[in-house]
Amino acid sequence: MDGKKKNKKDSNVILYPGLVKRLIEKGMDALKAKDATAAYNHFLTAEQYEPDHPQVRFGKVLSLVELGRLEEAVTHTSALLNEGIGEYYDNLQVHISLLVQLGHYQEVVDML
């Protein structure tokens, strides 16, 4: 019974206006300050509220790159490209550069 009450209570959460925008700004500021962990956490929090927001998803990718989690970043850029979320050429550029860094040259050739 407590679980039902908790779920009902969670669905009644009201966001502060501009919360996601502010989290994106904090994430980008953290990336500029070379604090990839903080940036990643800000983007993850923003993703909980707006999972398909292009800036949230792209910021998360940039954070993963800075954290050295390239394979995971490739998975996310591939999803962005397949789902048509965000700026196609920005996503493609990052995706291809990640594939090159990982030595996945045949995938680059296949894409181009």
| CATH H-level superfamily of 16-111 | Tetratricopeptide repeat domain (1.25.40.10)
- Domain ranges in the chain are 16-111
Q: Which of 2-6, 8-12, 83-87, 99-103 has the lowest mean pLDDT?
A: 2-6
CA dist., res. 69 & res. 89, Å (int): 21
How many CA atoms does the CB half-sphere of 16 hold within 13 Å?
Answer: 7
Per-chain mean pLDDT for the chain:
88
Beta strands in 4-73 (DSSP E): none
Give Cα 70 to chain centroid, integer Å. Answer: 13
Q: How do residues 36-72 score in pLDDT, each as one tens digit?
A: 999 999 999 999 999 999 999 999 999 999 999 999 9
Q: Over 80: is that where the pLDDT of 6 sits?
A: no
